Amino acid sequence: MTNQQDKTIIITGGAGFIGSHVVRLFVTKYPNYRIVNLDALTYAGNLENLRDIEKSPNYFFERADILKTDEIEKIFSTYQPDAVIHLAAESHVDRSILSPLDFVYTNVIGTVNLLNTAKKSWNNNFANKLFYHVSTDEVYGALGETGFFTEETKYDPHSPYSASKAASDHFVKAYFDTYALPIVISNCSNNYGPNQFPEKLIPLFINNIIHKKSLPVYGDGLYTRDWLYVKDHAAAIDLIFHRGNKGETYNIGGFNEWKNIDLVKLLCKLMDEKLRNRAGTSEKLITYVKDRPGHDRRYAIDASKINKKLGWKPSVTFEEGLSQTIDWYLQNEDWLKHVTSGEYQNYYELQYSKRDGR
């Protein structure tokens, strides 16, 4: 999609972690675009993430569930969007193990519902239209000690979450092949940064260190993830949205692999410095606990396609990004307090109370 003319874009999941960074980037960088944030505000959606831009004249919020066809059709009919950037999803692997059907509903059926609505609203006139699906590297399964996921790697998902994202990717591709709906997909590695819900490794451990709670490392702690700063993911989405080839997939990654235990030790060191703790204080909180079932050993993205074709690369080092992330959480303790009250406590109890000891 070129960025010459005005356009209206529906961004789903815009109140969540990555979605809020994408909404902010588009609202501020493209004042001539109308940005409609369509979000159901589940436990993971939080309008506090967008306070700084909510009064912008080109920003609109619609609370709606992507599973409810009538709600979605009404929003399409009101705004007549040129494009959809679809991020709304159930996104946490551990929750998918507790409750797989929620993931099938939102990630698979919700996505198909949106595809149908876009197709119907565009009335088979697809010129200058785009359905952009934001997906994950977890669809590719797990790597051994070496190798990388490329855009050609066969799908081999292992968790209910990754299976649901793989299914949604297949539907998006099927709408391109069957109906010529213009689509693009990106598959990204682990994101971190401000506004991430503290169920994911980095913000959960920051919150626990603040409250001197134990740091539950799954299994032997030698699982490897490829970490990317969320604003770099948003920048990649911007590039792919405007310059990606229709029908294609782009892998996005940080060229930044860390074994969980090494990452946790770095996080502990930075937290001790920032909290003016004695060195080694936070590391004492590390507790090895029962492993996640079906735990993928290693993820690593080969991001050379987006690098070569679109000139994208990460803009911050991991140490810089992690330091900025910790500062954000320390400066936004109210945000943390709000999202960790109520339902979060029940989730934490359910997820971690039976995990102690291996």
Of 93, 114, 166, 271, the one binding ligand DAU (CB under 6 A) is 93
Characterise 13 by phi-psi region: left (phi > 0), alpha (psi -120 to 50), beta (else): left
Residue 290 binds ligand DAU (CB under 6 A): no
Report in angstroms how near the CB of residue 346 gets to ligand DAU at its nearest: 16
Query: What tokens appear for 146 in the block?
Result: 């070496």
Task: Verify whether residue 137 is a known catalytic residue.
Answer: yes
Residue 201 lies near ligand DAU (rule: CB under 6 A): yes
Per CB under 6 A, which of residues 254..273 are in contact with ligand DAU? 260
Nearest to ligand NAD of 65, 94 (CB atom): 65
User: Is there a catalytic annotation at residue 161?
Assistant: yes
What is the bridge-based pairing of β-strands 59-63 and 34-39?
parallel
Nearest to 134 by CA among 43, 22, 276: 22
Q: Which does 66 bind (CB under 5 to 8 A by kind): ligand NAD, ligand DAU, none?
A: ligand NAD
* For ligand DAU, the closer CB: 216 or 314: 216
Closest CB 226 distance from ligand DAU, rounded Å: 7
Tell me, what amino acid is at 47?
L
Burial of residue 280 (CB within 10 Å: 0-12, 13-18, 19+) is exposed
65 binds ligand NAD (CB under 6 A): yes
Q: Which listed residue (59, 132, 161, 223) is catalytic?
A: 161
Q: Examine residue 92 and tell whether it contacts ligand DAU (CB under 6 A).
A: yes
Q: Which one of 24, 34, 95, 165 is in contact with ligand NAD (CB under 6 A)? A: 165
Residue 4 is encoded by which pair of tokens? 């010459």
Q: Is 87 in the site for ligand NAD (CB under 6 A)?
A: yes
Tokens describing residue 227: 């970490």
Cβ neighbors of 95 (< 8 A, separation 6 or more) are: 102, 103, 161, 199, 347
Residue 169 exposure: Cα atoms within 13 Å on the Cβ side: 25
Rounded Cα distance between 234 and 240, Å, is 10
The single residue listed with the structure tokens 């001790």 is 272
Instruction: Return the residue nearest ligand NAD (CB atom).
Output: 16
What is the footprint of ligand DAU within residues 126-145 (CB under 6 A)? 136-138
Q: Which of 1, 44, 204, 306 binds ligand DAU (CB under 6 A)?
A: 204
Strands 215-218 and 286-289: parallel
Q: What distance, in Å, lies between the first and last C-alpha atoms of the chain? A: 51
Smallest distance from the beta carbon of 161 to ligand DAU, in angstroms? 7
| Residue 106 backbone dihedrals phi, psi, to 5 degrees | -70, -50
Catalytic residue among 39, 82, 90, 138: 138
Residue 56 has what DSSP assignment? -
- Shortest CB 254 distance to ligand DAU, Å: 10
Q: Would you give the binding string for ligand DAU spanning residues 213-232, x where CB under 6 A is met?
A: ---xxx----x-x-------
Q: What is the DSSP letter of 357?
A: B
Looking at the annotation, which residues are catalytic? Answer: 137-138, 161
Residues of the shown chain interacting with ligand DAU in the complex, contacts defined by CB under 6 A: 91-93, 136-138, 189-190, 200-201, 204, 216-218, 223, 225, 260, 292, 299
